[in-house]
Structure 1
Amino acid sequence: MSEDSFYAELPAFDKFSDFTNEAYYAPLPSDWCIVVSDIEGSTKAIEAGRYKDVNLVGAATIAAARNALHGLDIPFVFGGDGASFAFHSKHTTRIQEAMSGLQQIAAENFGFVLRIGLVPVAEIYAAKRRIEVGRYELVTGRCLAIFHGGGLSLAEKWIKQANSRHLIEVKIGSRTNIEGLSCRWNSIPNIRGTIASLIVQKNETTTNAIYQDILDQIGQICGVDIDQINPLNIPKISYQSIRECFFQESRLHIPKWSYRHCYRIFEIIACVCIFRFKIPPIFIDPKRYVKSMRTHADYRKFDDTLRMVIDISAQQSEAITCYLDSLYKKGLLFYGLHNSKDSLMTCYVDDIHEGNHIHFIDGADGGYAMAAKQLKSQIKASST
């Protein structure tokens, strides 16, 4: 197994609930690094109605990293207002350049302070924490990373500390490539009553088996398999206008009117013609692509914390809240749940062929970020 192929060669599992099975995990090599990004003041930005911008900049971390490494298969997790990923330390200079360039885009074009930190995995092991990774296969050729062991949470804690020594230095003039990232679909309405953005984190003394219990209970409350409450409701999706797409994505480039920027404008026009005005293309099957988006949706994940965005009824959301609250009061876990009318989709498309696209899902009006706010308040209350 080569330095770069560690993650790509891990055996994958295709049933989401198997993330509780430790047999599917392997320790990250000690010569790898973890990067965590986070938008400062994301809650205020969301409250001001900028949740689409927050999602776009958060997902840009993944696109910038993947492009910097020329599409190398690396483990990553989208968290709504930020993201996490791991890579071999030999690529550190390249990653730092890409992250610094992304920070400048976030500041100059979005008015966001994007904190990005880098932690060597060796430091996590020196702190007596584990950091293990598994591969959950959405469809053939496209896997999502699952992190386990507490090490990723520790890295995030270190990076979010004031004056953290792990923060990546912003170097003026750094460049980054965010090709493949887009946010061209309108908010997706629910079909069952509400879009619930859910975050659950077990207490340190609680076993991982509780996550399987939670998934089972959610299935019982909803009366269906969790696959069926996927919020990417294909009949409800609609494409934005050229003007809307251009406004959103023109901010992903510094300098403006570069080759990449001009190419993106051409791409936007072509995609709007295909997906909004239904003009038949020559080289792709848009109906097949749209249909496949549901199976390529990243609406559930695990990175030391269970995260899900699901389309359920208001009564089911209330029942799930009551169930989780009972576990919280027993000291078994912390949780956050935020309800909204719609879900949001941010797309990362290597190309539109089978397997080569992924769609990051969050709840509208804040989704994960607002659920995380509730979870953090519970953690804070438990420590006082």
Structure 2
Amino acid sequence: MQNDLFYQELDQFNLFSEFAEPQHYQPVPNDWFVVITDVVNSTQAIQDGRYRQVNALGVASIVAIMNSIKPLKVPYIFGGDGASVCVPSSVLQQVKQALQATVILAKQQFSLEIRAGVVPVSDIRQLGKDIRVAKFQPKDHFSQAMFDGNGLSAADSLIKQANSQYLIEPVESDSLDNNDLFEGFECRWNEIPSRSKEHIALLVQALPNEQFSSDQIYQIVLMAINGCYGDELAYHPITPKQMSLSSKVADLQNEAKIRSGFVGKLTKYKYIAKLKLLRHVGNYLMKNKVKTDATEWGGYKQRLVENTDFQKFDDMLRMVISGNEEQRVQLENKLKQLQQSGLLAYGIHSAPSALITCMVNDYNHDHVHFLDTTRGGYAMAAKQLKSQLATLKSVE
């Protein structure tokens, strides 16, 4: 169908500061569907120290969907403990199968539950909400989807209703074909320490009124961030020097479970052994700046940094920022003033390190790296933001 190419043909914008400008957004076709995934009881899992598993499953759901519809490109966004994706009706059946496999994988390999659902865009519009998408392309080889219209949160609410008709029911399967769904999922990097003492996961949701539009509020927020942390180069959460490949089984087993989850324990152990070998190979290739027909390894870490989703928008601003406690306190004070003025709700969670989970189609340019802070960054920041919104509703 013609509108299958809606996202691929969407015009892009190049400056992140324009993320809230309405002209960049186009309505998702009415016959498309919104896919929502999230780890149930993720807060408890994070408190149990399982934040890396929670992140891994959020990314795994994106990887499974994208593999199931190749070569079609569709918009998606990672939220820490889950993901949102928009897909056309022509690929709905294989997307549902990918979701079923992800739900089963989470249960069998991690003893975690993924809630997955699919909602027609038309149903969301009947509720008075919308889903509009923009394409942010800071580099020729990297783009991100941005969402507005409050349709994603509406879809999330519909899926979380008791006995929701939109939920995907898992179908037990040991199919070897399911492993192909997770090809390209990688989780091989050590946690990345902040070069400035700490990372923060930041969420900000504008609350426009007659005086201030959403765009104006977000511009005020960006000015506050720049005033406290400096420009993007100053607060970018990772640099190539900070990155190192992990040799810990505890880190590597998440990828092993996801990539070989349907083929038994022996294959998993072999996969971990392969990852340990690949660590040495990767270090050699990057250190010696080896060039192959497919990849220029000397620049891989820099391309990885450029291909991270450390700042994004899905009806709220999401950022991972590197800084220190003094800068965080300054920013919180400014956000608190704006929040008390009724202009926004926000959440901040600080941690010593960032966590990176990857979707790699090739090591040259086609790779995306999903960022969060350790200790459950986005998920924990969301608790604070939701609390502020709940307080606001009770006052109203």
Query: Normalised by the size of structure 2, how large is the TM-score?
Result: 0.91
**Within-5 A mapping of 1:230-379:** 230-241=236-247, 243-244=249-250, 246-252=252-258, 253-256=260-263, 268-269=275-276, 271-276=278-283, 283=292, 284-354=295-365, 356-379=366-389
* SS of residue matched to 2:154: helix
Offset at 1:14? 1.2
Distance 1:227 1:117, change over 3 A: farther
| Code of the aligned partner of 2:27 | P
Offset at 1:195? 0.4
CA distance in 2, matches of 1:217, 1:14: 21
Deviations 1:206-260 (A, max 9, x none): 62121111011210122x2124311112211111117455422221133225999
Determine if contact 2:239/2:302 at 8 Å carries over to the other structure: no
Determine if contact 1:190/1:233 at 8 Å carries over to the other structure: no
Offset at 1:170? 0.9
Ranges in structure 1 where 5+ consecutive residues have no aligned partner: none
Report the more deviating stretch, 57-66 or 269-278: 269-278
1:62 is aligned to 62
* SS of residue matched to 2:362: coil
Determine if contact 1:60/1:181 at 8 Å carries over to the other structure: yes
Residue of 214, 220, 224 corresponding to 2:227: 220
1:27 is aligned to 27
| Code of the aligned partner of 1:233 | T
CA distance in 2, matches of 1:90, 1:135: 22
CA distance in 2, matches of 1:154, 1:231: 31
**Within-5 A mapping of 1:96-135:** 96-135=96-135
Ranges in structure 2 where 5+ consecutive residues have no aligned partner: none
Determine if contact 1:36/1:116 at 8 Å carries over to the other structure: yes
1:202 is aligned to 206
| Code of the aligned partner of 1:240 | S
Offset at 1:4? 1.8
| Code of the aligned partner of 2:16 | F
Distance 1:256 1:7, change over 3 A: same
Offset at 1:126? 1.5
Determine if contact 1:232/1:297 at 8 Å carries over to the other structure: no
CA distance in 1, matches of 2:270, 2:13: 37
In percent, how many aligned pairs have the same letter?
35
1:41 is aligned to 41
Determine if contact 1:184/1:240 at 8 Å carries over to the other structure: yes
Distance 1:151 1:265, change over 3 A: same
Offset at 1:275? 3.0
Determine if contact 1:39/1:54 at 8 Å carries over to the other structure: yes
| Root mean square deviation of aligned Cα | 2.2
| Code of the aligned partner of 2:155 | A
CA distance in 2, matches of 1:261, 1:15: 42
Offset at 1:39? 0.4
Offset at 1:299? 0.4
Residue of 229, 235, 240 corresponding to 1:229: 235
State whether structure 2 residue 218 is matched by structure 1 residue 211. Answer: yes
Determine if contact 1:27/1:132 at 8 Å carries over to the other structure: yes
CA distance in 1, matches of 2:320, 2:262: 35
| Code of the aligned partner of 2:257 | R
* SS of residue matched to 2:346: strand
Residue of 172, 178, 181 corresponding to 2:182: 178
Distance 1:90 1:260, change over 3 A: farther
Offset at 1:370? 0.6
Offset at 1:118? 0.5
